Amino acid sequence: MSQQNLVLFEELVCIDGQRVGVAQLNSEKTLNSLNLTMVQALYQQLQLWVKDEGIVAVFVHGAGEKAFCAGGDVKRICIAVREHGIEDNTALDFFSAEYRLDYLIHQYPKPLIVWATGIVMGGGIGLLRGASHRIVTETSRLAMPEISIGLYPDVGASWFLSRLGQIGLFLGMTG
């Protein structure tokens, strides 16, 4: 699948002529894991929809039934570091772009709905958590598995987990 097809965008026209922007994470094979191209595409499109007065809301979902988003493509980052050494900027570029996207979603001035069915991990939780409207289903499985590979739970997890009391502590320690 080409890089430009990893996120699909469309606009649905409402009966009154206003529109809803739809973004679909489109990488079922990787459980819709985010890579730099996907993050940049989402950021750019969300910026365009903010400026478009005809767009009244944005809906984000993942392709397939297995996962909304299994987080960032950590495998790609690990391979880049193995091949090019610790000076490789793949991780820096990805996380900088991902956090910028998460911040935009948290500050988004229009209703932003995330339909989080299936697996929702790491960066997927970052997308979900920032949305003004969050929908989970009976198949949703949320996790922050970064801690099991030695990373801290990111995407704002230290903020939202700390507000869940003992459940947040448990989730933060176990992923």
Q: Catalytic residues, which ones?
A: 72, 123, 146, 154
**Dihedral of alpha carbons 157, 28, 134, 44, sign:** positive
**Could you give the angle at the alpha carbon of 97 between the alpha carbons of 168 and 104, nearest 5°?**
70
Rounded to an integer, what distance in angstroms lies between the CA atom of residue 166 and that of residue 116? 24
Q: Residues near 8 by Cβ (< 8 Å), separated by ≥ 6?
A: 23, 24, 26, 63
Q: Where are the alpha helices (DSSP H) in 9-120?
A: 36-51, 74-84, 90-106
Task: Tell how far CA 127 is from the center of its chain.
Answer: 4
Burial class (CB in 10 A: 0-12, 13-18, 19+), 162: exposed
For 52-135, where are the alpha helices, taking DSSP H only? 74-84, 90-106, 123-130
